[in-house]
Amino acid sequence: MNRNESRIAARIYFLERELERMSCAADNAEDELRARPMDAAMVRRLEALYTLADETWERIQTLRARLSGGPSVIYFNRRHAEPAAKAWRQALV
């Protein structure tokens, strides 16, 4: 791995950690929203988290594409892929 690829890998690592933190924050916000479903501020906060997470994920994918054959790790959280969780998130938007 050359110096440029090393920098890209470091950025990917940082962004993946931030994405994990966003996931935890979104989980907490979803719990709060379940407790207070009519809280408009919480809905906006959750929408902002989802938007930021999407942008971060796209950036990670772009950086991975720039690596020349380097290792690629795909983050998958089975809990978020469940139909009930997915339907609930889509209902928020």
Secondary structure of 7-61 in HEC code, one letter for each residue: HHHHHHHHHHHHHHHHHHHHHHHHHHHHHCCCCHHHHHHHHHHHHHHHHHHHHHH
Residue 15 contacts residue 63 (beta carbons within 8 Å): yes
Residue 36 contacts residue 42 (beta carbons within 8 Å): yes
The tens digit of pLDDT for each residue in 18-36 reads: 999 999 999 999 999 999 9
Write down the pTM of the prediction: 0.65
| CA–CA separation, 4 and 10 (whole Å) | 10
| CA–CA separation, 57 and 51 (whole Å) | 10
The tens digit of pLDDT for each residue in 39-76 reads: 999 999 999 999 999 999 999 988 888 876 655 555 56
| CA–CA separation, 58 and 85 (whole Å) | 22
